């Protein structure tokens, strides 16, 4: 599998060797270019990752998965408009099996750029396509709270917790939502849960002091 199995298991050196051989043997393979881009991204080799992503999407303009991954990569680099354009390109393929990922990435990209209304619209599309896409519900809850709509955020976070276990990020968000709603007891309950379950997390440390 072009070294991706090694990469998924965290065996970066083995993945690098396998993918270097694959690239030497077949540099015009979009799959090989995509795999090398993913490896470079994991290794923090941004310029090389960008180069391989560009080659991958040029060699196979219908590879929506590569376009989605490249778009998300560009968004992480704060190249928002380029990233969204690439993600939207992935969505033009009617055979793309998981369009919720591209919509979710558009939402994340718009949100980090401060474009909250556009972010919310994209995330709503993600959960409409796949109501079980947990990470989109969490992002949607964050975005709705940022927009000052705490009740909607509470509902979205509830949907997230129906699909995924409580974690430091979701518990801190729950506490922030209850604070925005003026529910001090519920806020304190979530903060206590966060401190109790994940005492060493950054989210627990961000609360500061001791529980009230």
Supply the pLDDT for residue 22.
81
pLDDT digits (tens, 9 = 90+) for 12-38: 777 777 788 888 888 889 999 999 999
Mean pLDDT of 51-59: 98
Supply the pLDDT for residue 165.
97
Which letter, b or e, does each residue of 23-51 get, where b requires 16 or more Cβ atoms within 10 Å of its Cβ? beeeeebbbbbbbbbbbbbeeeeeeebbe
* pTM: predicted TM-score of the whole model, two decimal places: 0.90
């Amino acid at each position: 599998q072009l070294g991706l199995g090694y990469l998924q298991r965290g065996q970066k050196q083995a993945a690098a060797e396998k993918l270097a051989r694959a690239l030497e043997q077949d540099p015009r393979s979009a799959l090989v270019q995509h795999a090398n881009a993913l490896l470079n991204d994991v290794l923090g080799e941004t310029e090389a990752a960008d180069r391989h992503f560009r080659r991958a999407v040029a060699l196979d303009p219908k590879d929506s998965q590569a376009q989605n991954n490249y778009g998300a990569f560009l968004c992480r680099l704060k190249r928002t408009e380029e990233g969204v354009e690439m993600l939207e390109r992935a969505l033009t393929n009617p055979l793309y099996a998981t369009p919720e990922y591209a919509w979710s990435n558009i939402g994340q990209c718009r949100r980090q750029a401060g474009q909250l209304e556009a972010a919310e619209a994209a995330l709503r599309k993600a959960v409409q396509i796949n109501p079980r896409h947990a990470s989109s519900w969490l992002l949607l809850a964050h975005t709705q709270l940022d927009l000052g709509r705490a009740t909607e955020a509470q509902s979205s976070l509830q949907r997230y917790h129906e699909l995924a276990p409580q974690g430091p990020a979701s518990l801190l968000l729950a506490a922030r939502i209850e604070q925005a709603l003026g529910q001090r007891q519920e806020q304190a309950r979530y903060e206590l849960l966060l401190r109790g379950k994940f005492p060493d997390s950054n989210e627990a440390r961000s609360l500061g002091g001791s529980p009230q």
